[in-house]
Amino acid sequence: MSGGLLDLLERLVDAGVDFVLVGGYAGVVHGCTYVTQDVDICCDFSAVNLLAFQEALSGLHPVHRMTPDRKPLDLTASNAAEFKNLYLDTDLGPIDCLSEIQGLGGYDQVVRVSSPIDVEGRRLRVLTIDALIVAKETMNRARDREAVRQLKVVRRLREEGGLTDGCGQS
């Protein structure tokens, strides 16, 4: 993983944010060769967790990427319940924080189809290869179809014993 986006993940772990790595970086963990320009996570959207998420991004000038005026992130215990997803730009790169993943469900379901991994001495959760395939097949965009193709090849190689995953398992 590259510097800025890896730094984002480290900040989230260090702040105690409950999240699962999904999307492009999850594919990279499993062995996909495509490049991704953002971090996609699914997280618990409780006020406590979202405030920890905001704290993790403090000093990185997070702004809402999908709003015309790019408002700064300003979560409070009372307004946190208003959000279902957060699409942010930060000084370290974009981060998409999702409350659910198509084809898998909400955060509780996503956690159940994830595995722990160690990244730069920090422990975080990532979607399993099978769950990522389901999510990518559900999205069905061109880049998702390519990811599914690669993920299925990786899975087959693992099943044949020729490859281990980013979680250290074959």
Domains in the chain: boundaries: 3-159
Q: Supply the pLDDT for residue 35.
A: 77
pTM above 0.85, yes or no: yes
How far apart are the two ends of the chain, measured CA to CA in Å? 21
Beta carbons of 92 and 5 less than 8 angstroms apart: yes
Q: 3-state DSSP call for residue 78?
A: coil
What are the mean pLDDT values of the chain's consecutive 10-residue runs (170 residues total)? 79 97 92 86 97 97 93 94 94 95 97 94 95 95 91 92 56
Distance CA 151, CA 118 (A): 20
The pLDDT score that the predictor gives to residue 170 is 42
| The pLDDT of residue 81 | 85
Other CB atoms closer than 10 Å to residue 21's CB: what's the count? 26
What is the second-level CATH architecture of the domain 3-159?
2-Layer Sandwich (3.30)
Residue 156: how many other CB atoms lie within 10 Å: 11
